[in-house]
A and B are shown apart, each in its own frame.
Chain A
Amino acid sequence: MADNTTVTVETAKKLGLLPEEFEKIKGILGRTPNFTELSIYSVMWSEHCSYKNSIKWLKTLPKEGPHMLAEAGEENAGLVDIGDGLACAFKIESHNHPSAIEPYQGAATGVGGINRDIFTMGARPVAQLNSLRFGDLELDRTKWLVKGVVKGIGDYGNSFGIPVLGGEVFFDEVYNTNPLVNAMSVGICNADKTISATSHGVGNPVFIVGSSTGKDGIHGATFASDDINEDSAKDLPSVQVGDPFQEKLLLEASLELAETDAIIGMQDMGAAGITCSSSEMSAKGGCGMDIQLDKVPTRQEGMVPFEILLSESQERMLVVVKKGREEEVNAIFEKWDLNCVEIGVVTEGNQLRYFMDGDLVAEVPADTLVLGGGAPVYEREFKEPAYFAEAKKFSIDQIEEPTDLRAVAESLMQNPNIASKRWVTEQYDSMVGTVNMSTNGPTDAGIVNLKGTDKALAVTVDCNARYVHADPEQGTAIAVAEAARNISCSGGEPSAITNCLNFGNPYVPEVYWQFVGAIKGMGEACRKFQTPVTGGNVSFYNQSNIGGKVEPVFPTPTIGMIGLVPDKKKGTTIPYKSKGDLIFLIGRSQNDIASSEYLVGWHGVRNSPAPHFDLDEELQLQASLRQLIAAGLVRSAHDCADGGLFVTLAEKGFTSGFGFDITTDSELRPDAFLFGEAQSRVVVTVDQVREGDFVDLLANAGTPFTLLGHVTKSEIRIDDQAFGDIQDYAEWFHNSLAARL
């Protein structure tokens, strides 16, 4: 048996632990750990589970808000009070490393894992969002990854029965080896019927429910805490296999369980399986646990203790049941034909004791394993990378103005980062659950109908990683601002965020500098918007070590935000509503093309600063926009984002068939006016008869705005020059991605 292996510092290093961490473990136990114990520490102290290199900075993020029911780290996901006795549980998580070597299962189990985080709290998942990053679309590997990831997300989520309400797909060569797959789930529950991930009450039985335990995903958390390299394909057993049907059954059974008061707590098994759930629940409740590993239903014969402990087999939960209520719990799982097996008991003290056939195979104190307990916390050094100062030297004057703006517009429509992602999104069920209000009225944020109330929930994921790379602090503040802007454009008020922090190797000072900057920018923006950070996930080591050359991805702190639409009848959609409506830009145009798709795609300039951004301007813009929407003064709204103003105006035409006739600003370069990505701008349309009220409201608020022009039948005109018909742009926009895949 593996437990008889002599454990040395070399064993520890092979499991991904540092020599000083091995010493620390010996200190905690007062002896040398056996192999099983060492395995337990290696996963629990892995970056993935312990946040050891990030927690110091994560603690600087704002956690409190007026509507928080559970703060970051308290439960599996953040919990926000949304009124009417309802609460919203939401979280985003990465599944980058598994997706890099097995895109279909990697992405599928990412969807499964994040949904379990939600329903383990007693909330029914109602919306899914995905934030995806891939490499150069010309590469066969990228196409393989895109097809696999999209099919994986679709097959899992469609069967599980959760609609996809939003997301983003971005392509850049920095993601060639390391794609990013971030999945977000949003759930709704009764605020007084939530389930906690805790354990207490000596003598209470501990159950494992759901799927049987197999050898898949062993050391997955450790695998996720290292670079991808030439040998990574050998780590294939580290990738878990998903079964959405089991997950659907587990969902229904868990929600029936939430209706009873028969349980103390429940936690899903994701990274580090039984080890993680038993230690985190015990540490939270301040008690110990005895677990009989031989009672765990397994998929194969002869699994040894460390395999059972570390297995990341999907669709499983650990449940602590009130003694005497076992039959109620059994009946629910029997109804859904799921395993429900008593494997242990809550004990006094803080020791976790794992037994196999009566033999004690591992004994460790619960609190020494977990974040906030004995898990190590490191301060990493950081250093400004050379490219940062270099980028600041950029000036728009270095870039020649194109003579044919129409050609630029045509090319942007077909740029994969701007073109329609319909090829992707039509493979996802976006309507199951009959809550998606954005299907027939497209909105900047996904809008979830809260049936039986006047409200709706707004959900979005955003991050322009190019901006974050250009300036981590400002770029991340922009990501928060853009998420909030999408919610404001849809008639909502931003409530709270979850984050998925995808970075390179934290031991590289330049990478860590990006991380620190991102956290600072996020913290500042979230404090201004009063959107606390409810939790999320850190994914380091997203860089590739190929032939000795290290290639980190763009720092990608994906922001998942929820907001509340107080009056769903006043939700505002993207499309133009009728010919002749006035088109206004709220916010200021700038002579700025920094970090735009136009600058990168058309001019081939990759290094420039983040685009113009001012947090106070942004707050004012959004406040005014929400006032306009509440007053019923705008007929459509859409923010200026990737591709700039022209793309925003065109997108407003695609679903309505209308065109636009506008005038540019003679004081700005027309390319900057049309294609620059300066932030804090929103395009709205206004009924001519409401123009006076519209202007008064903005003038009183002191919010800048410009009359751009008006909505046309289908023609596009700029400064009295014909730019073609909206239908042509729609064709390019809708068909280019499919054509390239």
Chain B
Amino acid sequence: MKFGVITFPGSNCDQDMIYVLETIMGQQVEQLWHKDPDLKGCEFIVLPGGFSYGDYLRSGAIARFSPIMNSVIEHARKGGYVLGVCNGFQILTESGLLPGALLHNANQKFICKNVHLKAQTFQTVLTNQIDLFKPLNIPIAHAEGRYHVDADTLESLNEYGQVLFRYCDENGKVDAAANPNGSVDNIAGVCNREMNVFGMMPHPERAADAELGNEDGKVLFESILNIVSV
């Protein structure tokens, strides 16, 4: 499996993602530069976290116009896999590859902390190895992570199994108290209807290294590799 991790100007989680994919998961990784539209034969494209273009207009709003994004959109339309984490998720909603938008957190502050998530489906490339009853301890770090969609879209997301993760407490309870940023329906991550484009605010790459004492995020990468090997 050849992964491609895109560096936009202002990306700051690109090296973290590369470290996990390459060193911990042992995969081949290309570091893709936003000005170069060539995806270099990568099968799985990752848009990492950070502050692309400083997030000055709106998170992800400028990065979607980077030369490489046309190739990413093309790749996705052909069924290629794309994952956006945090700022990457914001870029994917801005470019229309994923439904919804990421608004300012309800408390209007940047929040960085470990939170708990529950996978909502095991029928995707990203979640097929996850125990749906086990809350995963994975950190968030964002100022604009409040997922928003209108009621109709929310209904169809649920209907088509597009909600990947919901925020929960350490016992797995999904309620307002466990919602760190005010996301609609506690949604932490979604995919498109074709289930090849994924976006999530929490950072699985920050919870995948035994040396940091938390490997709850590793199961997402194991899921990806599992599907591929089938």
Chain A binder among B37-45, B125-133, B156-164, B211-219: B211-219
Within 8 A of B (CB), among A231-268: 243-246, 248-249
In the assembled complex, the CB of A455 is this many whole angstroms from the nearest CB of chain B, namely 11
Closest chain B residue to A162 by CB distance?
B12
Distance in angstroms between the alpha carbons of A429 and B55 in the assembled complex:
16
Q: Complex: how many Å from CA A340 to CA B51?
A: 23
Contacts known (A432-B13, A434-B206); A426 close to B51, Cβ less than 8 A: no
Cβ contact within 8 Å between B110 and A158: yes
Shortest distance from the beta carbon of A569 to any chain B beta carbon, whole Å: 9
Distance A337 CA – B16 CA, assembled complex (angstroms): 23
Partner of B212, one of A151, A160, A432, A440: A440
How far, in Å, is A65 (CB) from chain B's closest CB?
A: 28
Q: How far is the CB of B162 from chain A (nearest CB, A)?
A: 27
A437 within 8 Å of B (CB atoms): yes
Q: Is B206 in contact with A245, judged by CB distance below 8 angstroms?
A: no
> What residues of B have a CB within 8 angstroms of the CB of A663 in the complex?
none
Quote the shortest CB–CB distance from B187 to chain A (angstroms): 21
Shortest C-beta distance, B27 to chain A (Å), equals 16
Cα of A427 to Cα of B108 in the assembled complex, Å: 10
> Complex: how many Å from CA A468 to CA B203?
42
**In the assembled complex, how far is the CB of residue A29 from the closest CB belonging to chain B, in whole angstroms?**
44
Judged by a CB distance under 8 angstroms, whether A78 is at the interface is no
Closest to A569 in B: B211
CA distance A562 to B126 in the complex (A): 40
| Minimal beta-carbon separation of B135 from chain A (angstroms) | 15
Choose among B20, B50, B111, B203 the residue that contacts A161 (Cβ–Cβ < 8 A): B50
Question: In terms of DSSP, what is the predominant structure of the interface of chain B?
Answer: mixed
Q: Are A155 and B110 in contact (CB under 8 A)?
A: yes
CA distance A159 to B203 in the complex (A): 16
- Whether B205 is near chain A, meaning CB under 8 Å from some CB there, is yes
Given B110, B143, B212, which contacts A436 in the complex, CB threshold below 8 Å?
A: B212
Nearest Cβ on chain A to B86's Cβ, whole angstroms: 10
- The distance in angstroms between the C-alpha atoms of A243 and B205, with both chains bound, is 27
CB contacts between A and B, total, < 8 Å: 95
Q: Render A17-59 as a binary contact track against B, CB cut-off 8 A, 1 for contact.
A: 0000000000000000000000000000000000000000000
| CB neighbours of A427 from chain B (8 A) | 109-112
Interface residue? A605 (CB, 8 A): no
Is B211 within 8 A of A437, CB to CB? yes
Kindly list chain A residues whose C-beta atoms are within 8 Å of the C-beta of B50. 161
Whether A430 sits at the interface, judged by CB under 8 Å, is yes
Min CB–CB distance A691 → chain B (angstroms)? 27
Please encode chain A, from 407 to 428, with 1 for each CB lying within 8 Å of some chain B CB and 0 for all others. 0000000000000000000111
Given contacts A245-B53, A337-B9, A434-B205, contact A429 B141 (CB under 8 A): yes
Known: A437-B211, A437-B212, A440-B214. A432 touches B54 (CB 8 A): no
The reply on A336 being an interface residue by CB < 8 A is yes
CA distance A588 to B70 in the complex (A): 68
Cβ–Cβ < 8 Å partners of A568 in chain B: 211
For the complex, count residues of B whose C-beta is within 8 A of A: 34
The reply to whether B112 and A245 form a contact with Cβ atoms under 8 Å apart is no
Pick the contact of B54: A245, A426, A428, A436 (CB < 8 A).
A245
Known contacts A434-B16, A436-B212; decide if A245 and B9 are in contact (CB<8 Å): yes
CA distance A233 to B180 in the complex (A): 37
Which of A161, A426, A430, A437 meets B213, CB within 8 Å? A437
By beta carbon, the residue of chain A nearest B215 is A440
Highest count of chain B CB atoms <10 Å: which of A159, A428, A430, A441: A159
B213 touches A441 (CB 8 A): yes
- Assess whether A449 is interfacial by the CB under 8 Å rule: yes
* CB pair A426 B206 closer than 8 Å: no
Q: A575 CA to B185 CA in the complex, in Å?
A: 34
A151: B residues at CB distance < 8 A:
109
Would you call B19 an interface residue if the criterion is a C-beta within 8 Å of the partner chain's C-beta atoms? yes
Residue from the list A243, A336, A431, A441 in contact with B206, Cβ < 8 A: A431
Instruction: Say yes or no: A248 contacts B51, CB within 8 Å.
Output: yes
For B15, the closest partner residue in chain A by CB is: A433
> Using Cβ atoms and an 8 Å threshold, which residues of chain A touch B19?
434, 451
| A245 nearest in chain B by CB position | B54
A441 to B213, CA, bound (A): 7
Within 8 Å of chain B (Cβ to Cβ): is A439?
Answer: yes
Is residue A644 contacting chain B, with contact meaning CB distance below 8 A?
Answer: no
Q: Which residues of A contact B212 (CB under 8 A)?
A: 434-437, 439-440, 449
**Residue from B16, B20, B141, B205 within 8 A of A158 (CB atoms):** B141
A498-510 contact mask (Cβ, 8 Å, vs B): 1 or 0: 0000000000000
Residues of chain B contacted by A434 (CB below 8 angstroms) = 16, 19-20, 205-206, 209, 212
Contact partner, B110, options A154, A431, A439, Cβ 8 Å:
A154
How far in angstroms is the closest Cβ of chain B from A161? 3
Measured CA separation A433–B113 after assembly (Å): 15
Q: Are B213 and A249 in contact (CB under 8 A)?
A: no
The distance in angstroms between the C-alpha atoms of A243 and B15, with both chains bound, is 22
**Minimum CB distance partner of B139 in chain A:** A431
Does the CB pair A432–B213 fall under 8 Å? no
Question: Using Cβ atoms and an 8 Å threshold, which residues of chain A touch B56?
Answer: 245
Contact B112 A159 (CB under 8 A): no
Expressed in whole angstroms, the minimum distance between the Cβ of B121 and any Cβ of chain A is 27
A159 B213 Cβ-Cβ under 8 A: no
What's the Cα separation between A589 and B3 when bound, in Å? 58
**C-alpha gap A448/B16 in the complex (Å):** 14
Residues of chain B within 8 A of A154, CB atoms compared: 110
Contacts of B139 in A (CB 8 A): 431, 439
A245 near B211: Cβ-Cβ < 8 Å = no
- Contact pattern, B 4-25, Cβ under 8 Å of A = 1, otherwise 0: 0000011011011001100100
Q: Do A245 and B51 form a contact, CB below 8 Å, given A160-B12, A449-B212? A: yes
Which B residues are CB-close (under 8 A) to A161? 12-13, 50-51
- Given B10, B23, B110, B214, which contacts A429 in the complex, CB threshold below 8 Å? B110
Q: Is B226 an interface residue (CB 8 A)?
A: no
Nearest residue (CB) in A for B20 is A434
A248, B10: Cβ atoms under 8 Å? yes
Q: Which of A160, A336, A430, A431 has the most CB of B within 10 A?
A: A431
Contacts of A433 in B (CB 8 A): 15-16
Q: CB within 8 Å of A: which of B111-158?
A: 111-114, 139, 141, 143
Contact among A159, A160, A243, A336 with B55 in the assembled complex (CB-CB below 8 Å):
A159
CB neighbours of B53 from chain A (8 A): 245
Can you give 24 contacting A-B residue pairs, CB < 8 Å?
A: A155-B110, A158-B110, A158-B143, A160-B12, A243-B54, A244-B51, A244-B54, A245-B9, A245-B53, A245-B54, A248-B9, A248-B10, A248-B54, A249-B9, A249-B10, A426-B109, A426-B111, A427-B109, A434-B20, A437-B213, A439-B212, A449-B212, A451-B19, A451-B211
- Contacts A158-B112, A431-B141, A439-B214 aside, 19 further interface pairs with beta carbons under 8 A come to A154-B110, A159-B51, A161-B12, A245-B10, A248-B10, A248-B12, A426-B111, A426-B112, A428-B110, A428-B112, A429-B110, A430-B112, A431-B203, A432-B13, A437-B213, A439-B114, A440-B214, A449-B211, A451-B23
Q: Which residues of B contact A (CB under 8 A)?
A: 9-10, 12-13, 15-16, 19-20, 23, 35, 49-51, 53-56, 109-114, 139, 141, 143, 203, 205-206, 209, 211-214
The list of the 5 closest CB pairs from A to B, nearest first, reads: A161-B12, A245-B54, A440-B213, A159-B51, A434-B16
